[in-house]
Amino acid sequence: MIIGAAEETPATMLAAHHVEFGAPLAVGQLPRPVPLPGEVRIKVAATSVNPVDMHTGRGNGYVQSMTLPLIPGWDVAGTVDAVGYGVARHRVGDPVFGLARFPHPAGAYAEYVTAPAHHVVRAPAGLTMVEAAALPLCGLTAWQMLRAARVERGKRVLIDGASGGVGHLAVQIARALDAEVIALARPEHHSLVTSWGADDCVDYRDAAAVAAIDMADALCDVVGGDLALRLFDRIAPGGCAALALGWAVPDYRAEADARGIDAVSCLVDPDPVGLRALSELAEAGSLRVHIGATFGLAEASRAQQWVTSRSGIGKAVIVMPDSAE
């Protein structure tokens, strides 16, 4: 049963999708999803591109139950268009944003998407839909990693990839928590990262500079590999490292144990409590998403290439055809 569906909404929708795994994105009409009990349908204003989108498009990664045609994407900002049976927390017309269904396919590169009602919350006042769409996956990742690393007032935290999607938000959230932030980024990005709240910036490619970092209490690692292990050496015994790419750091638990620190691999969760915390920070002016580029839905492949080639800093956002933003 659908409650309050807009009757004029067509039975199909425009979506960017993979016909085969590894095939380029096609843009065309697909069936419009119907919200099940406990779900809402959202008329999408914008979605954003994350590296996991490209992994799943190749049939790789930890995403469950992938079927073809596959519509990528999890970040969503838009307006509730219909609610399924039993939904009381949202009404048709509500502006919402969130992380839909992760790590199961959601299909946000489309004009409409359905999601469990608790996976979205009211969109932050003061943010455009473009900005709101760029916040959920990266913002929740940063929020949950900082919590896992036990970052709080007075703690000293290292954040690598500080000019990237997750990193630039982690810097701002850590600053809002009154932690001391040491950010690792390219020198040409240091002034911008400092403007986000970093107390100091280090060139992650300079091994001597990395080795000279004073000991910290925590690490928020979104890069993985050898850099993560070198940063393990800068964490004081009893400290904690949170990794977004634990699979890219061989034997990370053993390496952490050898240094007397804790380490945890984090997979983002569509947490409504975290979304509301991010929304409050955004409304207070303490958190702002850096939008690096925007693309139309017909340019979804270009948007993914922008991310893959690291053509800029911040987030790439896909805007739906009839969105005013």
pLDDT (tens digit per residue) in 55-73: 889 887 656 678 899 999 9
**Does residue 59 come out as left (phi exceeding 0), alpha (psi in the -120 to 50 range) or beta?**
left
Q: What radius of gyration, in Å, describes the C-alpha atoms of the chain?
A: 20
Nearest to 210 by CA among 237, 221, 278: 221
Q: Mean pLDDT of all residues in the chain? A: 94
Q: Are 129 and 78 in contact (CB under 8 A)?
A: yes
Q: Are 254 and 278 in contact (CB under 8 A)?
A: no
Q: Which of the four CATH numbers 3.30.450.20, 3.90.180.10, 1.10.3210.10, 3.40.50.720 does domain 138-265 have?
A: 3.40.50.720
Report pLDDT digits (tens) over 105-129: 999 999 999 999 999 999 999 899 9
pLDDT score of 60: 75
Report pLDDT digits (tens) over 272-313: 999 999 999 999 999 999 999 999 999 999 999 999 998 889
Nearest to 137 by CA among 97, 89, 195, 82: 97
Residue intervals of the chain classified under CATH 3.40.50.720 are 138-265
In terms of Cβ atoms closer than 10 Å to its own Cβ (0-12, 13-18, 19+), residue 3 is middle
Cα separation, 17 vs 38, in Å, equals 26
Residue intervals of the chain classified under CATH 3.90.180.10 are 2-135+289-319
What's the average model confidence in pLDDT over 206-220?
A: 97
In this structure, which topology does domain 2-135+289-319 adopt according to CATH?
A: Quinone Oxidoreductase; Chain A, domain 1 (3.90.180)
Nearest to 74 by CA among 96, 53, 45, 95: 53
Asked if the model's pLDDT at residue 325 lies above 50, the reply is no
Report pLDDT digits (tens) over 67-102: 899 999 999 999 999 999 999 999 999 999 999 999
**Does residue 143 come out as left (phi exceeding 0), alpha (psi in the -120 to 50 range) or beta?**
alpha
pLDDT score of 324: 45
